Chain A
Amino acid sequence: MNQAQCQVLATYQWLGEQLETGAMTHPRCRRIGQDIQEILRDIIDSRAGEEHMETLRSMARELAEKGEDEECVRLGKTLSQLFENHLEEFLGHVRSRNCPTGECPMLTPAPCQMTCPAGIDVPTYIALVGEGRYSEAVSVIRKDNPFPWICGLVCTHPCEFMCVRGRMDDPISIMALKGVAAERSYASGDFSDPEPAPFNGRKVCIIGAGPAGLTAAYYLALQGYGVRVLESLPLAGGMMRVGIPDYRLPQEIVSREIAMIEDLGVEIRCNTRLGRDTDVEQLRREGFQAFLLAVGAHNSYELMISGEKECSGVIPAVDFLRRVNLGDHSSPGKRVAVVGGGNVAIDAARTCLRLGCREVTILYRRTHAQMPAHQEEVVEAEQEGIRFSFLTIPKQINGDEEGCVHTVTCLRAELSEPDASGRQRPVPVEGSEHDIRVDAVIPAIGQEVDDTGLGDFHDVDWTKRNTVRVDTISMSTDQSGVFAVGDAVTGPATIVEAVAGGKKAARAINRYFEGMPQPLLPPTPVRRGRLDPFPMPASLKMDLTRPHMEVLKNDRRRITFQQVHLGLSEDQAQTEATRCLRCDICIRCGRCVEICRDKMGVDALHLGYLSFDYPGPTDLKITAERCILCGACATNCPTEAMQMKDRDGERILTHCGTELNRLQLEYCESCGAVLGPARYQDYLNRRIRQISPSLVGKHLCLDCARRKASYQQAEINPPDGS
């Protein structure tokens, strides 16, 4: 995602060099050049509005067209060229208030935001949650993701993996805080979506009411588009509805967030399959000019072993989960084998248990460490009593006389030596065949796109993996006016990736209608605010720990579909929010630490977490023991994360609100101006004791010292004899 160089900063620096050389001699042109430089600075420092770019372009044109000499014209032309060539990047800086390269300090996005596929402004909503402003937090989230509650419960939360606090102790509970914000704000009823723009006469048809399709529907509806979503199943929600069991994501939550999208005027037609209940021709006649394919990946891969097709009791995992989620709570059998090691396998196994299966075994051909499923889910499955049979490869499914599944013949396996890519393959052990007695087999080894009904889009190209081929920035297919998103494009992925795709598609569809060129760069996550950090003592910031989320007791978990994770309390959530290190403000450049240690020789800042590659120990409390409050760290901080302020007779150093040191101030004995704390004077005295013992006890400020010296020098009565 990172580009080599930020073009905005490069242009600013280049212009600075041009002005420095003095080649621009004409005063008027020089003045314009300096003005351009100042406006560029505004963009870099996050102070610019959309009109800045227009001004820049017109000023460059003025130089190029009306320049007084050759040098002005040359500069104007080059600048115009740079602005045109990198317009998208310049506008991106202005609109998103983020610089994806991270070269502009004030615009450097936090790692959590950059990691989130949907680009949610995590630090901002965390800060809002910390202040109890839940509805504002939900507004911030919904600008990038219309499913804050769903994603607050079941997101794969890659943000937490990148969370900088994780280098210190544990990452912030970013996902759970999102859930709290959504729950509280929906419960209080004081959140409402912005009023959608009036209908613009354009109609878009979305095929598939999953997270990707509904996200696109949401952002299109807000822009005034008429949106119809076709859903072949009786309920909308896609995999959120039929792929995730209720104990992780209750149906009501899915319904509520979908209802909020319908409230914007989106029409969702359930039980409607393209090609069966309607077709593209008919839709075109109804006025739909753009189509978005968001059909998901609802077909299970087959095990390709004998007996799979012949025996009854072999139920593909997604079919099984769909059946259960749509209300069929009949048990597949007393003993069930689930084949696979991913999240779907775990979901299927835990669902079986809840349907009353006595013995649920997960057969996985590799080992525990290689399971692609989330560690947390695996542990919970183990707690609930799911059995795991690792290094086990099903070879054949054997039926009984009636054709029902009776046993699975499996092979034991061993892991091979790591190959060139470091991957260890399971190798069957010869002669290790053994039978496992089961009543049902649930293969969960992957899904693929079900492309039935999409044949009408003749020019849409498909990949070898049976996914729709798109331009990954605009999500447009080879057929004009047809876009595709979600699992249909990526293969089985996550909700948040689907949301990201849906958002990109909404942007692209709007550009398609407007006749604008499609973007060349992926969208930059948008900074939604820059909230003040929480003021708090260093030791509290250090000692707070990631909250432990209450879970349903195990007995109940095993027999009901009640939600397992009970969420954070409001109190826990607000406290957790204050643990955030505010990486949207502190960009972790490490200048403060370097200066304190290497330049000042004080070594009071132990912020080991700042380094990504070589994180060291972090001790926020040690600063108070060593810091002399010279302020060099604050002076050199490019983003004002480190601040030194004098208040009520004390000098206080804070880093993103965390109070690192506080000392009593000394004052000038003559005028009362602030001199700094005694420890700063001690540092100074120690340095010049050798040459000037007399300085100890000096209590004059800069101005008074100078004035005193000048009075001593004044020759009011010069000995001139007159």
Chain B
Amino acid sequence: MSQYMLFHDQKNCIGCEACVVACKTRQKLPQGPLPTLVVAVGPRWAGDQPRTVFTFMPCFHCEIPWCVAACPTGAMQKRSGDGVVSVDPELCVGCKTCMAACPWGAPQWNPVTGKVVKCDLCKDRIDAGLRPACATVCVTQCIHFGPPEEMSEIRRERYARTKAEGQFDPE
């Protein structure tokens, strides 16, 4: 895990895919590769209502990334310091071993350059003190970017609030 985390608050996501577009635009990608993907799960019955949930699938920037181990050329690297996993296009030869190794399907194939692309947490942006493109453009602000310890607070707080709301319920 990198020292950052992209936390996607599924409760607020409307599936607009602005994050996907922003990500592809920033990396100037052709048709095909999706370094981040929004998957619609459902609709399923949740109680008496149909419900679709959107999951946001960027790279998790694993603690021990299999892609980095698999890469024979040293193109796939985990940055010391903040642990961002990214691919160096100069070194990538397009053997796709990282793609085959990743259990989450995070590394993507760019057919135009013949090289792998993936979520690099917009490292140039975060180095400049900005948030990643996806988090910046998110319409409902459901993509949160920060240290993991802060991210868990969001869900915990909401759960606490819901519980507390029940207490004040006038009915």
Contact = CB atoms under 8 A, between A and B. Distances in A.
A714 B93 contact: no
B26 interface: no
A691 B66 contact: yes
Interface residues of A, number: 41
B152 to A, nearest CB: 14
Interface in A662-718: 675-676, 680-681, 683-684, 687-688, 690-692, 695, 698, 702-707, 709-711, 713-718
Nearest to B53: A714
User: Which of B10, B94, B114, B162 has the most chain A CB atoms closer than 10 A to its own CB?
Assistant: B94
Interface stretch (B17-25, B36-44, B80-88, B132-140): B36-44
A695 B44 CA distance: 32
Contact of B94 (A632, A676, A711, A720): A632
Contact of A721 (B99, B106, B162): B162
A705 B105 CA distance: 6
A709 B103 contact: yes
Interface in B48-62: 51, 53, 55, 57
A688 B69 contact: yes
A600 B97 CA distance: 10
A713 B70 contact: no
A695 B101 contact: yes
A600 B37 CA distance: 29
A687 B69 contact: yes
Contacts of A600: 72-73, 93, 95
A709 B44 contact: no
B72 A691 contact: no
A688 B103 contact: no
Q: Closest 10 CB pairs between A and B?
A: A706-B105, A714-B41, A635-B94, A710-B39, A630-B95, A635-B114, A710-B55, A632-B95, A632-B93, A702-B105
A314 B163 CA distance: 124
Nearest to B102: A705
B44 to A, nearest CB: 5
Interface of A: 595, 599-601, 630-632, 635-636, 675-676, 680-681, 683-684, 687-688, 690-692, 695, 698, 702-707, 709-711, 713-722
A709 B93 contact: no
Given A635-B94, A709-B105, A676 B100 contact: yes
Interface in B63-119: 64, 66, 69-70, 72-73, 91, 93-97, 99-106, 114
A631 B100 CA distance: 13
30 contacts: A599-B73, A600-B73, A600-B93, A601-B72, A631-B94, A632-B93, A675-B100, A681-B100, A683-B97, A684-B97, A687-B70, A688-B101, A691-B64, A691-B69, A692-B101, A695-B101, A706-B39, A706-B57, A706-B106, A709-B103, A709-B105, A710-B37, A710-B39, A710-B55, A713-B57, A714-B39, A714-B41, A714-B42, A714-B53, A720-B162
Given A675-B100, A718-B10, A721-B166, A713 B55 contact: yes
Given A684-B101, A688-B66, A719-B159, A599 B57 contact: no
Contacts of B128: none
Q: Which secondary structure dominates where chain B touches chain A? A: mixed
B162 A722 contact: yes
A687 B97 contact: yes
Contact of B95 (A631, A702, A706, A722): A631
Contacts of A684: 70, 97, 100-101
Contacts of A698: 103
Contacts of A599: 72-73, 91, 93, 95
B94 A636 contact: yes
B155 to A, nearest CB: 9
A691 B37 CA distance: 26
Contact of B46 (A635, A636, A707, A717): A717
Interface string B150-163: 00000000110011
Contacts of A680: 100
A710 B47 CA distance: 22
B69 to A, nearest CB: 4
